[in-house]
Structure 1
Amino acid sequence: MAANTSYLVREQPPKALIYLLLVAGLIAITYAIIAQKLIMAAVIICLPIIIVAIGYGLQNPYFVYLLYATYAFFFTTISRYTLKTKLSVGLDILLVYISIALLFVFYLKKTNFKLKNAVNILTISYIAWIAFILFQLTNPHIGSEGITHGIRIMILETFTLYIVASIVSNSPKVLRNGLILIGIFAIIAFLKVMYQKYVGFDTSEKYWLYVQGGARTHIISSGIRYFSYFTDSGTFGTVMAAIAVVYSVIGLNTPNRKLAIFYITIGIMGTIGMFLSGTRGALIVPFASLALYCLICKSIRTFAITVIAGISIFSFLMFTDIGNSNAFIRRARTAFRPTKDASFNVRVQNRKEMALYLKDYPIGIGLQNSIPKLWPKLDLTYEEGTLPPDSFFVDIWIQTGIVGLVLNISIYVIILLGCCYIVMFKVRDKYLKQELAIFTCVVFGILLSGYTGAAPGTPPTNFIIVAMIAFVMNGTNIDKQLCQRNK
């Protein structure tokens, strides 16, 4: 009898097992709903989708890369609506997952991915930063939180992302799909900011503004600084500024009419979003990007149009008061008259205090540490809070000192010079050259915004930087594929 039972089990068709699992799942869902265990019910319902996605991802690392991009854009939104913290661990999980998927397809030898693509200026130059961070771990002022951040984020996570992006960003199809996906994210961001402006903030956003303190920097005398689904208006403004430049330039140079309309529409949305953010630092992105674009595109027509447009916008904001009745134009204009802005003057004073404090700390005060704000009162000095870093590069300066700051900037300069060389001398396809050129220039613009804001070091901006650089690093390979296709 036992033998017959064993025989029957082995001979059961796959459908029978599927039906059995389906029935078991329905019973479990019914029980969870009756018992009011809704989270359990949701997990059971999503389990088949998760299993299929995991199986598919192991065979298609690019799919996991898209999941990573999606999560990088939206995990802070999830945190705001669920009131859960430390959700960035999901990025680590997805990086581990995509690394396993790449190893899996390399093992099966069923892939067009090439491991040698991971060896480029982006990854090699970062090794110098890894060595410096390892040295930083010996800093006597560093705490356990700083050690964890240095190893987990600044070494493992960042370097893994650099390698993964360099391997996956390897074809014209991936480039096109990536532009479409980010374009969809931009549309969602635009629709969300329109809702905030014309309908109002929802319950979770109001909680973040009025309970968690976001209103101090987002509802100010000059107006409301909208933030869409991003962490803050600074990140939102910088991302939308980058999107405005990238999609406008690519849209004007795309032979496919439907894609051109799609890209230009997103470029317009990005421009509107940039101004609605009320982030003055974001203005450096289009100005710096287009300035560098003039130098490397090697087109007199493009150079002339860009220069004329740039001078016109600069003159409008710098030398006129036209449109001052509009809060967004009025706030943007203060970026060109910084000495008349109170917040700018406070930043200048804070940085003077930082420079004085950091004279004795050439390698910084330690990762994840802050400079205490010292207020002299009579003959005593009391600590009252800390000096806010207020920007990406100032934060690096505080944590790693002048040595770390110079090294970090030098690495970015080397990477950008390498990107410029590839665009100008290694890419022949004129449309691809325009795309990779504007990628390089926008990365330059975003990094310059890091002097006034923290966006370059926060998701999704840091992912956008890596993704664009990775495509440029693979520019020669993508160009060869396009040339072979056009023969």
Structure 2
Amino acid sequence: MKDPLLVSFYLYFALLLIQMVNPEGANMAGWFIFIRVFFRNMLFVYLGLHVFNNLQDVRNFFKFWIVICTLAAIYACIQQWHGLLPYELSFMAKYPKKFNTTIILSGIRIFSFMSDAASFGIIMACNIVICMILLTAKINVLSLWKKISLIFIIIFHTLALGYSGTRTGYVMLPAGLLIFFMANLQKRNTILIAIAFGFCSLVILFGPFHSNPTIVRVRTAFLGKQDASMDVRDNNRHHIQPYIYEHPIGGGLMTTGGNALIFHPGHPLSNFQTDNGYLRAVLETGWLGMLLVAANYFYLIQIAVVNYFKLKNEIDKLLMIGIAAAVFEMALAQYAQDAATLVESSIMLNAFASIAIKIKYLYALNTQS
């Protein structure tokens, strides 16, 4: 009851209870759907707190996570190189609305065996940073063949991220590595990784590659001029600001986007496309809701960083700073889209939360190795 991260969860739940009587929009059916997702996340955190009983459990989880995500990355490369399988194309044709952002001018955004391309790209971006951080371990801690394996894993993940067409994921990479570089600039391996990453980035951004659609899309995330879609989003945010100021507890749950057309037809926010996790939070739950969402990210990053400096084993330290970097990436991704509510990314985020909390009380507070 005293942990700040868990307290922020409790306060957010209390705010959701208040939304049941929000005069601007209180629909019990929509409220139950929203609260179901919240309970799913909290249940996952609760299970994690009981599953991760020591640091070996954490290492085993990361082995499993990296392996299954590598399989997803390899399958994404197969989809890109050989095309989607017939049943995948049939599914896309049967449910076109589910894939309206998957087909773009440069081709099909690859989604592997995850729910959509955006979720897949976000997972790949987080894993690339975690694997690059593990690559900085000393050779006597992480053997040479394991480092070679990590290099191949990073290559497949990077290709998969490029094929996903998730521009948010492209921007997440340098942001996540920034956290790690700031904490480890005094180490030689960190400097080498930073130089290698910087060199590869410059080659991709300014190299003589002008016909590859994947590289062109990566460049537009960093060098492209502001397009019409960005102008529309900025105009929408400016237009909705008076509503935010006038409604301190928001307009109610499920009152934005397409959900409002189902649960709140005629609502002022009906069919308003937020394209932003923080904007959705402030519109539906008010300033307090947005601050609590931001507090969740802040406290999770803080706990992971403290664990990093408290633990003694190098691999455990790198896993903790990897969690901090990945969560920081997710916090940044929330500005571009509602990333944390996607199924796969929420599983990752909640697993990281339970790991950080459990390790804090098992090891970090006791300064044990």
Matching residue of 1:196: 79
1:232 aligns with one of 105, 112, 116: 116
Matching residue of 1:285: 172
**1:137 is paired with a residue of what secondary structure?**
helix
Asked if structure 1 preserves the Cα contact closer than 8 Å seen for 2:297 and 2:327, the reply is no
Counting only pairs closer than 5 Å after superposition, residues 82-161 of structure 1 correspond to structure 2 as 120-140=3-23, 141-154=25-38, 156-161=39-44
**Is residue 334 of structure 1 aligned with residue 220 of structure 2?**
yes
**1:464 is paired with a residue of what secondary structure?**
helix
* AA in 1 matched with 2:222: F
Matching residue of 2:301: 416
Matching residue of 2:277: 392
* AA in 1 matched with 2:174: F
Cα drift, residue 188 of structure 1: 2.4
Moved more, 127-136 or 331-340: 331-340
Counting only pairs closer than 5 Å after superposition, residues 247-326 of structure 1 correspond to structure 2 as 247-253=131-137, 254-297=141-184, 299-305=186-192, 307-309=194-196, 311-312=198-199, 315=202, 320=206, 322-326=208-212
**Is residue 351 of structure 1 aligned with residue 234 of structure 2?**
no
Number of aligned positions between the proteins: 356
Asked if structure 2 preserves the Cα contact closer than 8 Å seen for 1:251 and 1:262, the reply is no
> 1:111-146 CA deviation, whole Å, 9 max, x = no partner?
xxxxxxx97443233112112112222212121223
**2:172 is paired with a residue of what secondary structure?**
helix
* Mapped partners of 2:220, 2:59: distance in 1: 37
Matching residue of 1:360: 246
CA separation of 1:314/1:272 partners in 2, compared to 1, >3 Å: closer, same or farther? closer
* Mapped partners of 1:246, 1:445: distance in 2: 11
Cα drift, residue 294 of structure 1: 1.4
Q: Unpaired runs of 5+ in structure 2?
A: 259-265
Which structure ranks higher in relative contact order (CA pairs < 8 Å, sequence separation ≥ 6)? Answer: 2
**Is residue 435 of structure 1 aligned with residue 319 of structure 2?**
yes
Cα drift, residue 290 of structure 1: 0.7
1:449 aligns with one of 327, 333, 354: 333
Q: Percent identity?
A: 23
Cα drift, residue 474 of structure 1: 3.2
TM (norm. structure 1) is 0.66
CA separation of 1:339/1:345 partners in 2, compared to 1, >3 Å: closer, same or farther? farther
Bigger Cα Rg? 1
**Is residue 466 of structure 1 aligned with residue 339 of structure 2?**
no
* Mapped partners of 1:444, 1:356: distance in 2: 29
Matching residue of 1:179: 62
RMSD value over aligned CA atoms? 3.1
**2:101 is paired with a residue of what secondary structure?**
helix
* Mapped partners of 2:247, 2:365: distance in 1: 49
CA separation of 1:384/1:167 partners in 2, compared to 1, >3 Å: closer, same or farther? closer
**2:335 is paired with a residue of what secondary structure?**
coil
